[in-house]
């Protein structure tokens, strides 16, 4: 991917970067560890983005 990106693509990529985080510890504590995994978790090698 090129170094210079369009603004729309850049904002979509940034949103995907923010989504790709683990569930916070306070959420696990609040839900008594019922919520432990993030269903939107993605690995950059395994999954491609449709942008």
Q: Give the CATH number, domain containing residue 8.
A: 1.10.1620.10
Q: Which of the 8 DSSP states describes residue 3?
A: S
Looking at residue 1, its pLDDT comes to 60
| Dihedral in degrees, nearest 10, Cα atoms 32, 33, 39, 40 | 90
Parent domain of 28:
1-51
> How is residue 5 written in tokens?
């990106």
Q: How many domains does the chain have?
A: 1
Q: % helix / strand / coil in the chain, to the nearest 5?
A: 35, 0, 65
Looking at residue 2, its pLDDT comes to 78
pLDDT tens across 1-51, in order? 678 999 999 999 999 999 999 999 999 999 999 999 999 999 999 999 998
Residue 21 CB contacts under 8 Å (≥ 6 apart), including other chains: 38
């Amino acid at each position: 991917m090129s170094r210079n990106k369009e603004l729309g693509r850049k904002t979509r990529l940034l949103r995907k970067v923010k989504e790709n985080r683990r569930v916070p510890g306070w959420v696990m504590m609040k839900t008594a560890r019922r919520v432990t995994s993030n269903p939107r978790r993605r690995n950059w090698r395994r999954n491609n983005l449709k942008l």
